[in-house]
Structure 1
Amino acid sequence: MARYMLIMRSTPEAEAAMAEQEIDFDQIIEEMGRFNEELIKAGVMLAGEGLTGPEEGFVVDFNSDPPVVTDGPYTEAKELFNGFWILEVSSKEEAKQWARKIPLGTGVKVEVRRVSETADFPLDNPWVKKEIQWKAELAEKIAAQARAEADRLA
């Protein structure tokens, strides 16, 4: 099994088309919810999140020392990263099949990239060993947070 990140990118044209068509945001949420539910039922979705607008973000530019931080929105950007999914699938072909099913409109693109696995790096490297430990600790923390949230909602 391999993990793939599906990166949703929107353009100004996509934003204009959505506004022009007067698409109800509840309809978008419903369509994405159905797609996400399909991913979950298929057992391939590991994560998925939408992002807030660029006005809430910032860019760190490392072309100078110290790096320069610029608050959003980013007028020079032609495409904005709006959200992502991380899927665990059997092949690149399966990742393509899922990416083609995302309910997105004109002007939106999805970039698909394989997520590096620990096995892609030298396992005797001390930093790789630390990364493995950090991931285990993070998984325990996330599980504890999920249990606490489930208890709170019960």
Structure 2
Amino acid sequence: MRVMVLVKATPDSEQGFRPTPEATAMMEAMGRFNDALAEAGVLIAGDGLKPSSAGKRVAFDGAARTVIDGPFPNPTELVAGFWLWEVADMDEALAWARRCPNPMPGPSELELRPLYEAADLA
């Protein structure tokens, strides 16, 4: 099964990456984790996202389209990064998530969501 792992944003992540010794150590730990995911054949894709101040939203209302410039409110409801994993089941995804280094300097959260597969839509 494929699982999208969303790294939830924080007020810190919304400030953008700053190359401090702590951030460098965190990135190195995350690199080792990504290597382990790749070696296990779990990692399909993954990356970090720039702060929402660099983003845009497109709001739909019937045929109308409205562009909304970032930054967006409520950082903890935003996504700061993602992985796409191929795992046997949610138990395996949770086991990998528990091994993940903390992706943020302070409290943070991962959200794991299974993707629809063709069999789900039959």
Name the TM-score, length of structure 1 as normaliser: 0.66
**Which amino acid in the other structure matches residue 55 of structure 1?**
S
Between the aligned partners of 1:78 and 1:51, the Cα distance in structure 2 is 13
Preserved contact between residue 46 and residue 86 of structure 1 (Cα < 8 Å): yes
**Which amino acid in the other structure matches residue 84 of structure 1?**
F
Residue 77 of structure 1 corresponds to 74
Runs of 4+, deviation exceeding 6 Å: none
Whether 2:110 is the aligned partner of 1:110: answer yes
Corresponding residue pairs, total: 115
Preserved contact between residue 10 and residue 107 of structure 1 (Cα < 8 Å): no
Between the aligned partners of 2:13 and 2:43, the Cα distance in structure 1 is 27
1:121-143 per-position Cα deviation (integer Å, ceiling 9, x unaligned): 23xxxxxxxxxxxxxxxxxxxxx
Question: How much identity, in percent, do the aligned residues show?
Answer: 37
Residue aligned with 2:85, SS: strand
Q: 1:3 Cα shift?
A: 0.8
5+ unaligned residues in a row in structure 1: which ranges? 17-21, 123-154
5+ unaligned residues in a row in structure 2: which ranges? 15-19
More strand by share: 2
Between the aligned partners of 1:67 and 1:23, the Cα distance in structure 2 is 43
**Larger-Rg structure:** 1
More helix by share: 1
Between the aligned partners of 1:95 and 1:36, the Cα distance in structure 2 is 14
Name the TM-score, length of structure 2 as normaliser: 0.81
